[in-house]
Structure 1
Amino acid sequence: MSEFWSFITERYPDILLALRQHLTISFSAVILGTIVAVPIGILLVYNRVGWINSVVFFIANLFQTIPSLALLAILIPLLGIGVKPAILALLLYSLMPILRNTYDGFQSVDKGVLNSAKGMGYSAAQTILKIQLPLSLPYIMSGIRITTVYIISWATLASLIGAGGLGQLIVSGLGVNKPEMIFIGGIGAVVLALVADGLLGLLEGWLTRRYRQTRSAAV
């Protein structure tokens, strides 16, 4: 135990650096994945060509089936090593849960509510922003929360291509046989995932209340 606390005291700048790198990689991937997946999910709801939806979901699901190390290896010849290929790989992994939940959320909105909005003269954009988005927000946030937890876990592998993060502590600890480094890296990723999930849960509750208040005022 004394070695454990000594390591934290002596190497806390390195630990903070690894944590910052891990946060940067993970949340960059989740944010970019959300920016890409949510609009695509909404477009698929309004798409009337069935095979396009099937192709998009197939491609998004295909990324989920590629092993993490294999995907990183594929991206190295294209982007080299470091942060960029790590973020891109994690972004690709984030697409399916957010895309699926966005699509399912919009599909779950009661048709009667949509007909009422149409009868009141709402445009397609107004219906999306004021009706469908507030009602599907719990689905979307659930997808983002699940994705964030997974991405924080998978980001530990980014250290293998020189992107740093908490995984660097684990790899270095294995290399020099220092259990305290392995423990700090592993438990750090777990705590970070739990904290992120809790904060996103609070954000989900706040956004849901806010959007529903806006919808009530509009309708």
Structure 2
Amino acid sequence: MSLDNFVNYLVTEKAKILSLLAQHVELTVVAIILAILIGVPLGIFISHFKSVRKYVLGVINVVQAVPSMAFLGLLVPVLGIGSTPAIFMVILYSLLPIVKNTCTGITGIDKGIIESATGIGLTPRQILFKIQLPLALPVIMAGVRISAVSAVGLMTLSAFVGAGGLGYLVFSGVQTVNNTMILAGAIPACILALCVDFIFSKIEIVATPTGITQNKSKKARKEKEYRDPKYKARRNKVIGVATALVLLFIGCGRYFYSSFAEKETIVVGSKDYTEQLILGNMYADLLEEYTDYNVERKLNLGTTVLWNSMVEKEVDVCVDYTGTILVNIMKEQPNGTSDDVYNHVKECISKNYDLQLLDPLGFNNTYTLAMEQDVAKKYNINTYSDLAKYSDEFVLSPTLAFENRDDGLPGLEEAYNMNFKDVKSMDGSLRYQALTSGKAQVIDAFSTDGLLEKFDLKVLEDDKNYFPPYYAAPVVNKDILEKYPELEEILNKLSGQIDEETMIKLNYKVDELGQSPEKVAHDFLVEKNLIK
């Protein structure tokens, strides 16, 4: 990756990057403010009630110990997709520094000061607001700054649940081995974290009462300024303006979101890899071209998250694969031709999930196994049966989903009597890097992956036809079709338009040539005269 390529990407994709940055800022600001509003009162509460302190801190510590991705996955069935679970997750992970520092700051105050305040007749409320909170403020603000900076990084995970943000660029870049895209998301996130820390450091200085500062030399230099009534008035004005701007920013965001939501909206979803991002953008573009409805893109979702979102009617349209639905959702094994599988899946999801499977796009994106050309040639491996003879000498690096799916590694090992030396699972393009670096000798892939062409890999033949047909087709909620019956004809415009060779080329444009999924999708539709 060269500096010129990075700069060119920033220039050409500046609108997208700024949009994702704005989403990231809004999500982070909301999460931080809510974490403060919850954490500070909770810290005050446990500082005064020692009997419950260890239980509250224990629960918060347990939350911190749970992996953030796992916690986010647990929240999706309860809170759905979008900004809500992302904000909720960040709030929970931000509470510990705020709660603990608030409690420590208050309980660490010299008891003599509290006794003196009580002796002159101050009420507990007056002691809290006039003595304890001002004295504890530097410690509290230290916890807030830690939480605020951490929140910026944690919010990148919001991309997994369709909330947008800079994580979309980071994870899309990982999926496609696009370091430029990764940096385009990571660098603004780092800058944002530094800005957040700087802002809160200034708020800490301005908000800390006169005489309470840990930097004695600085205090001595500015003591006169702190005592100046004009400075105090200016400080209060700064705090007021900053608060007003934050509230205005959030209010405007909520207003535009509400205005958007009041209109007829169709939500298009996709899974979290290149092909799905391309197809998701294609259907979104078609809907924008042929309807006047608002089209919301909830792309880059996990496989399970996307299906659950379709069932819960939080996503209206997505592309899925007949084999995936048959084996993973219906828990059945393929029986009959690809048309038999398609018709069976269509009937089943219509009856059991209130979803409708529309016409197939035309390509079969089945699972396959791939190796480097020289390794396959050395062992004369062309088929899965050939691989089985040497599997105990090789390390397999599959995706996490493939390792755990019934139609993935467990069934494959049984069908071909494979026994790999080791299995090192990793998602996205990382497994391709493991292959080319020699850390692994075999990976799983989709037959239409552009990365297969990019890395010039040997695709092995499934000589026992273990994998079922994975024909891609749009899945739509029946409710949305009943409400907008014209959608079926619009979505079926892609029927039969994309074969395996075409899909490989489209994926290759993203994975190797560095084009964005949005551009590849749009250019294809224009080329096919499906949009202008």
Alpha-carbon shift at residue 150 of structure 1 (Å): 1.1
Alignment of 1:121-200 (within 5 A): 121-200=121-200
Give the aligned partner of residue 217 of structure 1.
none
Q: TM-score, normalising length from structure 2?
A: 0.39
Alpha-carbon shift at residue 4 of structure 1 (Å): 1.4
Q: CA RMSD in A?
A: 1.6
Alpha-carbon shift at residue 209 of structure 1 (Å): 3.2
* Identity fraction in percent: 39
The residue type paired with residue 63 of structure 1 is: V
Give the aligned partner of residue 24 of structure 2.
22
Alpha-carbon shift at residue 210 of structure 1 (Å): 5.5
Alpha-carbon shift at residue 24 of structure 1 (Å): 1.5
Give the aligned partner of residue 38 of structure 2.
36
Looking at structure 2, the residues matched to 168 and 211 of structure 1 have their Cα atoms a distance apart, in angstroms, of 45
Given that 1:25 and 1:155 are in contact with CA atoms closer than 8 Å, whether structure 2 keeps it comes out as yes
The residue type paired with residue 116 of structure 1 is: S
Looking at structure 2, the residues matched to 124 and 10 of structure 1 have their Cα atoms a distance apart, in angstroms, of 59
The residue type paired with residue 10 of structure 1 is: T
Looking at structure 2, the residues matched to 111 and 170 of structure 1 have their Cα atoms a distance apart, in angstroms, of 50
Given that 1:130 and 1:211 are in contact with CA atoms closer than 8 Å, whether structure 2 keeps it comes out as no
User: Which range moved further: 175-184 or 160-169?
Assistant: 175-184
Give the aligned partner of residue 105 of structure 2.
105
Looking at structure 1, the residues matched to 25 and 155 of structure 2 have their Cα atoms a distance apart, in angstroms, of 9
Alpha-carbon shift at residue 196 of structure 1 (Å): 0.8
Alignment of 1:59-98 (within 5 A): 59-98=59-98
Looking at structure 1, the residues matched to 209 and 111 of structure 2 have their Cα atoms a distance apart, in angstroms, of 22
The residue type paired with residue 174 of structure 1 is: V
Looking at structure 1, the residues matched to 195 and 39 of structure 2 have their Cα atoms a distance apart, in angstroms, of 24
The residue type paired with residue 120 of structure 2 is: M
Give the aligned partner of residue 295 of structure 2.
none
Looking at structure 2, the residues matched to 40 and 210 of structure 1 have their Cα atoms a distance apart, in angstroms, of 26
Looking at structure 2, the residues matched to 79 and 211 of structure 1 have their Cα atoms a distance apart, in angstroms, of 46
* 1:109 counterpart SS class: coil
Looking at structure 2, the residues matched to 27 and 93 of structure 1 have their Cα atoms a distance apart, in angstroms, of 15
Alpha-carbon shift at residue 207 of structure 1 (Å): 0.6
The residue type paired with residue 81 of structure 1 is: I
The residue type paired with residue 205 of structure 2 is: G
CA distance 1:133–1:67, change in 2 (3 Å): same
Unmatched tracts of structure 1, length 5 or more: 215-219
* 2:171 counterpart SS class: helix
Give the aligned partner of residue 332 of structure 2.
none
Alpha-carbon shift at residue 121 of structure 1 (Å): 1.4
Given that 1:134 and 1:211 are in contact with CA atoms closer than 8 Å, whether structure 2 keeps it comes out as no
* 1:209 counterpart SS class: coil
Rg comparison, structure with higher value? 2
> What is the total number of aligned residue pairs between the two structures?
212
Alpha-carbon shift at residue 37 of structure 1 (Å): 1.1
The residue type paired with residue 5 of structure 1 is: V
Higher relative contact order (CA 8 A, sep 6+): 1
Looking at structure 2, the residues matched to 146 and 65 of structure 1 have their Cα atoms a distance apart, in angstroms, of 17
Deviation string 1:157-177 (CA, Å, 9 cap, x unpaired) is 111111111110112223343
Looking at structure 2, the residues matched to 210 and 60 of structure 1 have their Cα atoms a distance apart, in angstroms, of 33
The residue type paired with residue 146 of structure 1 is: I
Given that 1:153 and 1:189 are in contact with CA atoms closer than 8 Å, whether structure 2 keeps it comes out as yes
1:45 equivalenced with 2:57 (yes/no)? no
Give the aligned partner of residue 117 of structure 1.
117
Looking at structure 2, the residues matched to 43 and 157 of structure 1 have their Cα atoms a distance apart, in angstroms, of 31
CA distance 1:34–1:172, change in 2 (3 Å): same
Given that 1:98 and 1:144 are in contact with CA atoms closer than 8 Å, whether structure 2 keeps it comes out as yes
The residue type paired with residue 37 of structure 2 is: I
Alpha-carbon shift at residue 211 of structure 1 (Å): 8.8
Unmatched tracts of structure 2, length 5 or more: 213-225, 228-532
> Hey, which bits of structure 1, 4+ residues long, moved more than 6 A?
none
Alpha-carbon shift at residue 178 of structure 1 (Å): 2.7
The residue type paired with residue 97 of structure 1 is: P
Higher strand share: 2
Give the aligned partner of residue 2 of structure 1.
4
Q: TM-score, normalising length from structure 1?
A: 0.92
Looking at structure 2, the residues matched to 128 and 211 of structure 1 have their Cα atoms a distance apart, in angstroms, of 18
User: Which range moved further: 168-177 or 10-19?
Assistant: 168-177
Looking at structure 1, the residues matched to 97 and 4 of structure 2 have their Cα atoms a distance apart, in angstroms, of 42
